[in-house]
Amino acid sequence: MNRRLWLLRQCVVAACIIAISMTQLRGGDAVDINQPYSATMSKPVLWDGELVFVVTAPYKTKLLRVWVPVPPSDGVQDVRLSEFSTFPVDVKPQIDTEPVFGNRFAYFEFSDPQGAMIIRHRLEVLTHELNWHLDSEKVKPPAVWPEAFEPYLRSENQAVVADERFQKLLSDVLPQRRNPLQDLDAVMSFTDKNFTYSHEKASLKASSLNGLLEYSGHCSDYHGFCAAMGRVMSLPTRVTYGINPFPNASPSHCKLEAYLPPYGWVSFDVSETQKLTKAIRSDGSRTDEEREKLVAAAHDRLIAGFRDSTYILQTRGTDYDLVPKAAGRVAVVRTIYAEADGKALPDPDPSNSTETKFAWMTAHQFTSDVPAPYPFKNTGSLAENR
């Protein structure tokens, strides 16, 4: 064998060794941070509407800066129209993408604002219901996650803290570890059983610590807590924020997503499932047997992976730098983020009855091209997902 053939053979052997090692490293399956949603899509709904943000900067503010999320088109939802306008002054936005999670924002600057500044966002979005029908036996995470997943596994200097307190709680909740999906089920069931939905004790920042210390809060505290517990289990997790198009004090709502190979990113809504099961249990028109069947169906839909078509996704992830840079890193952007002369304006929660003063508010109105009842208030939808 001449030297050239020998070198070629050695290269082939080395390539095979690397390929085998990478397969072992990944647990037998490649994982892709950008894997499209693998759920079954159904029930398309075209939402046509408008978000209106009324921002009042403190007196004598020299510069008011506002960032507004721009919903992505991603195969599940198709953003057919996204148009901005302002009042009483005409300000054109700068559209940029933050580098960590790829969230897009429209950025506005108002110099010497006098009174309230109004930003209108006209939207037309086609979206779908997603059902993953997860099989716990098929979920097999890799031995080591590729570097691209690091933002979804980190646990320091952010809203989704995952320190030794969460590790201790996990050992209490899960003294015996099982399959990753079954373990995540146990965490979400623990949250459902022990957390109390409260706007008065909400962090508005997807704070896992607020969830851990209070066992209370609203959707972001539930899902920030579950995200932290998932990361303790070495599962990449993220909080996603979006728009619920129905009339409400605030249109913002968040969900939990976990990366579960081979399915990829999967959506879960713990807080809304809890609200639904609470309503079912208090329904005096049903028998005990009927109520328990519906509660079981709600849990089955949760753990199978489900996202409703009454949800318009806006952002993924927490704790990122806006573009252009804000005064600091933001935990989440619910409907907007605003600063007056470099100081963040407080995030309002109009559902908190103890608060009456707000630096900004969001009004919204949407219509759908087909009837689209909210599945977390519609028990009839549970039979469709079984």
Q: For residue range 347-379, what is the model confidence (pLDDT) as tens digits?
A: 999 998 888 889 999 999 999 999 999 999 989
Q: How many Cβ atoms are within 10 Å of 385's Cβ, its own excluded?
A: 17
Is the pLDDT at 5 greater than 60, yes or no? Answer: no
pLDDT value at residue 380: 86
- The residue among 248, 247, 230 whose CA lies nearest residue 239 is 230
Instruction: Name the residue with tokens 């890799």.
Output: 142
Distance between CA atoms of residues 198 and 221, nearest Å = 10
Distance between CA atoms of residues 185 and 170, nearest Å = 12
Distance between CA atoms of residues 214 and 209, nearest Å = 8
Is this model's pTM higher than 0.85 or not? Answer: yes
Write down all domains in the chain, each with its CATH number in brackets: 42-127+318-368 (2.60.40.2250), 129-312 (3.10.620.30)
pLDDT value at residue 6: 39
Instruction: Name the residue with tokens 């085998």.
Output: 20
Distance between CA atoms of residues 364 and 250, nearest Å = 8
Query: Which residues make Cβ contacts (< 8 Å) with residue 243, sequence separation at least 6?
Result: 51, 71, 251, 252, 253, 311, 312, 314, 335, 364, 366
pLDDT value at residue 29: 53
Instruction: Name the residue with tokens 């036996």.
Output: 137
Confidence of residue 311 (pLDDT cuts 50, 70, 90): very high
Confidence of residue 156 (pLDDT cuts 50, 70, 90): confident
pLDDT value at residue 3: 44
